[in-house]
Structure 1
């Protein structure tokens, strides 16, 4: 497994175009691999996420079973003449995954598509609908934590700012309502993406490794589902 980081040049029109269309970014990421792993089954897949750290620092992260070649992205949305380096960094992710142990604590970031299925009236088929409030988006993640191999760390009572809804070391931010055309199916795709920052404790290393390499939730093709870990500061 590999983890790749690429900084997007937001001053270039092509870079802004990719950021404005998850469908185009999905295609650009797929072009980084001569052979994509099958989306069916239970094996690792290609996952990606865009982190908007500031107006000038926008990073694309890709987790993949094989090493990618992002030359085309550098030419379209990077700094192709800035240095002799390839323009992206790829790391051995497998060795990092092997070091995850039960009971260890990590900071995490996840961009996800928190949705639920509702039926508006009796007899009507269910419809997938996005959670729109931070409280429901938080509950969506907490409902999945055990099955994903971790628990979100709790706050000490003295550190809580609210009487209810502030029990965990978790922040929900950067909510984006995305709408883009999918030309291959002649339809418009609408989805809500939110970013979670927090701290977790590993309960099942094997299950968490599966979460990190297969994604969490829906809309994985469109930049959702990728969770990454970092040492606790």
Structure 2
């Protein structure tokens, strides 16, 4: 099954402000909400095991956190943070058909991998480091849109319209403040026609691109007539 949960934070709450401080804190909060699915044993990728993907959407009344998971989250842990609502996405995903037009939204960290060389290291303002095989350059504007259009096609969507919006960086300083994760995020909105329903379902369930632990990769679909 695939569940979608919407959490609307109460930003007057200290707990909510702490949870929404950065992408890393949100990730750690969501791992806690999925703890009943993960058990007590340590595993290499708890996010992937629980199917966790998330995105923060800004609305007229403030932010809303959208969370996707394989199982229902423990919403008793949201007390003191905000209000939550959930729905089962499985009927919608099962009903996707070839030729159907949908609206989509995706927040992603489009990038291009560069080979390890002094030239590329200098271009990125980064010194060549032992053990690093490649460097990654974030993409913006038209380059970011081309990145998404290529992936949309491979994920069973023929994009008919795309609007890209730079959202700035997703951050995770870590609990010690030394982790230093920083991903440049772009949101893609538009319309598309489904060309491969199975590929689309996989993209929704598994996510798109990198940075899935930091608020990237959640592909949201809705009927175009909504």
TM-score band by shorter chain is 0.7 to 0.9
2:85 maps to 1:89:
yes
CA positional deviation for 1:57: 2.8
Q: Name stretches of at least 5 consecutive residues in structure 1 with no aligned partner.
A: 79-86, 154-168
Match of 2:218 in 1: 226
Match of 2:27 in 1: 26
Pick one of 34, 57, 62 that aligns with 2:62: 57
CA contact 1:44–1:210 (8 Å) conserved in 2: no
CA contact 2:169–2:184 (8 Å) conserved in 1: yes
What CA distance in whole angstroms lies between the structure 1 residues aligned with 2:177 and 2:97? Answer: 43
Match of 1:108 in 2: 104
What CA distance in whole angstroms lies between the structure 2 residues aligned with 1:38 and 1:148? Answer: 26
What CA distance in whole angstroms lies between the structure 1 residues aligned with 2:223 and 2:151? Answer: 22
Say which structure is richer in helix: 2
Q: How big is each residue's C-alpha offset from its partner over 1:32-71, in whole Å with a ceiling of 9 and x where there is no partner?
A: 121239749x9872111111123x2311111111111222
Q: How big is each residue's C-alpha offset from its partner over 1:152-171, in whole Å with a ceiling of 9 and x where there is no partner?
A: 01xxxxxxxxxxxxxxx111
Length, aligned pairs only: 206
CA positional deviation for 1:137: 1.1
CA positional deviation for 1:179: 3.2
Pick one of 39, 46, 53 that aligns with 2:52: 46
* CA root-mean-square deviation: 2.4
CA contact 1:179–1:190 (8 Å) conserved in 2: yes
What CA distance in whole angstroms lies between the structure 2 residues aligned with 1:113 and 1:69? Answer: 28
Secondary structure (helix, strand or coil) at the match of 1:61 reads strand
2:71 maps to 1:66:
yes
Give the TM-score of the pair, scaled to structure 1.
0.80
What CA distance in whole angstroms lies between the structure 2 residues aligned with 1:194 and 1:58? Answer: 17
Q: How big is each residue's C-alpha offset from its partner over 1:69-102, in whole Å with a ceiling of 9 and x where there is no partner?
A: 2222231x21xxxxxxxx3111111111100001
